[in-house]
């Protein structure tokens, strides 16, 4: 158990819908990272937040957004969902940033029908 | 549940043998490398890391070797056990950047 929690574990929805994925980092960690893992793309970095502020952006679509709240939990919002958004979404956290090891949560499996 | 791609390179080893998983990384400016293990239905789990100023680092039953000349990273697992069955990913971080760039992964299967 890494100490990172994610909810829900599974999510099934329809195209065009909007969902929110939630992540609670390890106690004391200030950085939160979101990754997408799909069958044909592997693990792809989406975005990072550090102490409430966006710190780095990867291959995140404009339909996707994230935020980190004062209690340091983070949410990833996915809107106008398409079939191709079906994937595993992982959150990771680290104490600070840059040089710290990232610890991953168990993931949320999103299925878009 | 299925958590990774279907067409991963696969390494099959006998229980008790040593395993060597290889990874070619892409950026000569990368200064930090990590190996993760991902079991089916779970998130990636940190195994061991190495900085670019080192060429070898050892952990419990695992050793990571870094060859910067050919941009190659390897993970050696000693006395492989059934619990080592998983997909193994290497990841690199470019100097100064925040994100990890993951390799495609290698599926390790253990034969009894």
Please, what is the average pLDDT of chain A?
93
State whether residue B53 sits within 8 Å of chain A by CB: no
Taking CA atoms, what residue in B is nearest to A4? Answer: B43
Edge-to-edge strands, sheet with A74-78: A5-7, A19-24, A74-78, A64-68
A39 contacts on B by Cβ (under 8 Å): 2, 4-6
Residues B26-81: tens digit of each pLDDT: 888 888 999 999 998 899 999 999 999 999 999 999 999 999 999 999 999 999 99
Give Cβ neighbours of residue A62 (< 8 Å, ≥ 6 apart).
none
For residue B108, pLDDT beyond 80: yes
d(CA A87, CA A82): 11
With pLDDT > 70 as the criterion, what percentage of chain B qualifies? 90
Residue A5, token pair as written in the block: 């929690």
Q: Does B5 touch chain A (CB under 8 A)?
A: yes
The two structure tokens encoding residue B112: 């009894």
> Does residue A26 sit at the B interface (CB-CB below 8 Å)?
no
With beta carbons under 8 A apart, name residues in chain A contacting B40.
none
Percent of all residues in chain A with a pLDDT value above 70, rounded to a whole number:
96
Chain-chain contact of A45 with B96 (C-beta, under 8 angstroms): no
Tell me, what's the pLDDT at B7? 64
């Amino acid at each position: 158990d890494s100490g990172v929690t994610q909810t829900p574990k599974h999510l099934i929805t329809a195209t065009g819908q909007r969902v929110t994925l939630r992540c609670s980092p390890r106690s004391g960690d200030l950085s939160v990272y979101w990754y997408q893992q799909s069958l044909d793309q592997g693990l792809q970095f989406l975005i990072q937040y550090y102490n409430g502020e966006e710190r780095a952006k990867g291959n995140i679509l404009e339909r996707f957004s994230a935020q980190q709240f004062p209690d340091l939990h983070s949410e990833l919002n996915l809107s106008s969902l398409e079939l191709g958004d079906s994937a595993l979404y992982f959150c990771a956290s680290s104490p600070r940033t840059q040089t710290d090891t990232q610890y991953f949560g168990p993931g949320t499996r999103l299925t878009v029908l | 549940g299925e958590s990774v791609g279907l067409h991963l390179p696969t390494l099959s080893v006998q229980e008790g043998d040593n395993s060597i998983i290889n990874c070619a990384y892409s950026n000569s400016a990368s200064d930090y490398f990590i190996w993760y293990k991902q079991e089916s239905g779970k998130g990636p789990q940190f195994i061991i890391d190495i900085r670019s100023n080192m060429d070898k680092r050892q952990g419990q039953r695992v050793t990571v070797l870094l060859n910067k000349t050919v941009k190659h990273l390897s993970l050696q697992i000693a006395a492989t056990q059934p619990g080592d069955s998983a997909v193994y990913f290497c990841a690199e971080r470019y100097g100064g950047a925040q994100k990890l760039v993951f390799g495609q992964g290698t599926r390790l299967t253990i034969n009894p």
